[in-house]
């Protein structure tokens, strides 16, 4: 009797153990992982590029920051000297099942002038350079392909955009985040960002404001 009970208990215990192992892998984490990717680009003042990409369906988060240089933990003041090597960039969290990396790059070419080296409008300096920082070999290949197509179709070989691997992204200070959303009446927002968004809306690059 004791032996029979012991064996029964062992079978139940093993059944629970293997049952637990069998049920451990679920599809939810895998699905979540596949529906979130990151992209990092720079095209002048990050207040502008942030405002553009925040309008895109499939983009869940945009963070302004610094990348592409050597200095660790740079501040806005330091980056503005042009001596850190960093550019003002944005890091984009997106759902590739809604918007692809290729589509983000299409918007990127429209969102700034990639033919002006170290300058966007009145903003001049290496920190305002056009740059794509790829996160993977796949993004690297996509960026080079997109650049080649944009050069051939629209920019006549004049693109100056750097395509480099992302080494480290440093988020900018809190007051830079969601700048246009938080300060739509500021002079820079009224004079630069709002007209840019209006132009991109008219072209169908970004959804029109509701």
CA distance 107 to 99: 11
CA distance 135 to 156: 27
Could you confirm whether 48 is annotated as catalytic? no
Domain ranges of the chain: 37-203
Tokens 């960026």 correspond to 143
Catalytic residue among 45, 48, 80, 189: 45
DSSP strands (E only) in the chain: 37-43, 59-67, 87-94, 119-120, 123-124, 130-134, 162-165, 170-171
> What confidence tens digit (pLDDT) does each residue in 24-52 have?
444 445 444 568 999 999 999 999 999 99
Residues paired with residue 61 on neighbouring β-strands, in sequence order: 93
> What confidence tens digit (pLDDT) does each residue in 121-139 have?
999 999 999 999 999 999 9
pTM above 0.85, yes or no: no
Angle at 13 between CA 10 and CA 18, to 5 degrees: 120
Query: What would the CATH number be for the domain defined by 37-203?
Result: 3.30.1060.10
Distance in angstroms between the alpha carbons of the first and the last residue of the chain: 76
């Amino acid at each position: 009797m004791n032996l029979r009970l012991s064996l029964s208990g062992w079978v139940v215990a093993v059944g629970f153990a293997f049952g637990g192992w069998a049920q451990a892998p679920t599809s939810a984490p895998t699905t979540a992982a596949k529906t979130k990717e990151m992209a990092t680009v720079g095209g002048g003042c990050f207040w502008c590029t942030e405002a553009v990409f925040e309008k895109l369906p499939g983009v869940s988060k945009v963070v302004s920051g610094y990348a592409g240089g050597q200095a660790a933990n740079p501040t806005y003041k330091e980056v503005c000297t042009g001596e850190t090597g960093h550019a003002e960039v944005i890091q984009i969290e997106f759902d590739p099942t809604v918007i692809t990396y290729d589509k983000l790059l299409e918007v990127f070419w429209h969102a700034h002038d990639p033919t002006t080296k170290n300058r966007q409008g009145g903003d001049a300096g290496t920190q305002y350079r056009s740059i794509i920082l790829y996160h993977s070999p796949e993004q690297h290949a996509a960026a080079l392909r997109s650049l080649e197509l944009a050069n051939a179709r629209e920019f006549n070989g004049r693109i100056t955009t750097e395509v480099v691997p992302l080494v480290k992204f440093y988020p900018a200070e809190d007051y830079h985040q969601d700048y246009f959303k938080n300060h739509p009446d500021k002079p820079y927002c009224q004079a630069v960002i709002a007209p840019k968004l209006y132009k991109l809306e008219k072209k169908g690059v970004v959804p029109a404001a509701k």
